[in-house]
Homo-oligomer: A and B are copies of this chain.
Amino acid sequence: MTDVAAAAGVSHQTVSRVLNGSELVRDETRVRVLAAIAELGYRRNNAARLLVTNRSHRIGMISAHLVLHGPSMIAVSVQDAGHKAGYDVSLVAVEDFSAQSLREAVDRLLDEAVEAIVVAVAHRQALEQVSSLEVPVPVIIVQGVSDGQPMAVGIEQEAGARVAVEHLLDLGHRHVAHLTGPLEWVEAAQRRAGWQHAHEDRHVLPGPELAGDWSPQSGYEAGLRIAEDPDVTAVFAANDGMAMGLMYALHEKGRDVPGEISVVGFDNVPEAPYVWPALTTVNQEFSLLGRRAVELTMQALAGEADPSTQLIRPELVVRDSTAAPRPAVRER
């Protein structure tokens, strides 16, 4: 900077002012400085800047299970929205949800001088750990959010599950079976709750509940069992991957989808329209989620803490994997 100042015949402070867009510098001077900067290929040292300003323009994100569609989309969208807001985003992936590894993740981010931390881990345990941690910067939650949680933005999982189940009930199915995600995931628990409540509202008992782990493999295994049960005419799987595994098993066992059994997924992965039959599922607007998360972060940074939870409502996408039950089934 001193070199630039010398080349432009001004003081280093004037160079600094030009760089920071101060009004207090004559146009002519500004031009000279800019020219000197260009000529010398000068690039300002952000470490020095951070040292004195204490503002890193960086936010941290803690994430997990980035191989899964949802988490990875969220990570990308937060990163993107952050960049657009002029912030760098540091991502650290955790592999388990112990107090220790969360602590490490937070520490790593704090070492990078992040101004806020976005937590995108839907594990119940993780969220508890995080909220019990002493963190000297704002913490924003973007997954596994329940209503009334402060500093959080999420997708209304329960509403999404409800509309999926209601769609099936509306088609005439007496009840709907549910293949859950791992219930330690808030998302999974909320989708399950939505499934239950949809039945309760209509005063019918829900169909059988099977436990999955998000993987298509677990969907496949569940499918093998469902194929044996003549009473099941509709299944709501907690994500598309499991729905696909499930349909695979049904095919394998010669059960027709949707002729004999209807299937609904959740997530609307890009492949969903192209499995056979095209999967009816629930679409989540991840990019909107990222944008909202960053907006909230900016508010927190500006001190305008808005404690209300922002919730985004997902919507059902009807395709070919759902249909009315066969008349045969309805005879009584």
Contact = CB atoms under 8 A, between A and B. Distances in A.
Between A76, A88, A113, A271, the greatest number of chain B beta carbons within 10 A of the residue's beta carbon is seen for A271
A251 interface: yes
Nearest to A112: B88
Nearest to A249: B274
Interface in A13-59: 43-48, 50-51, 56
A258 interface: no
Contacts of A44: 111
Contacts of A45: 51, 113
A248 B270 CA distance: 13
A80 B93 contact: yes
For the side of the interface on A, what is the size category? Answer: 35 or more
A98 B276 CA distance: 38
A252 to B, nearest CB: 8
A273 interface: yes
A275 B244 contact: yes
Nearest to A41: B134
A51 B47 contact: yes
A91 B91 contact: yes
A248 B274 contact: yes
A216 interface: yes
Interface string A238-255: 000100110110010000
B247 A43 contact: no
A-B complex: 9 closest residue pairs judged by Cβ atoms: A216-B274, A47-B50, A245-B274, A248-B274, A47-B51, A244-B274, A251-B276, A66-B76, A47-B47
28 contacts: A43-B111, A46-B112, A47-B47, A47-B50, A47-B51, A47-B56, A66-B72, A67-B76, A72-B72, A72-B76, A83-B92, A83-B93, A89-B91, A91-B91, A215-B270, A216-B271, A241-B274, A244-B271, A247-B274, A247-B276, A248-B273, A248-B276, A248-B278, A269-B271, A271-B271, A271-B275, A275-B275, A276-B276
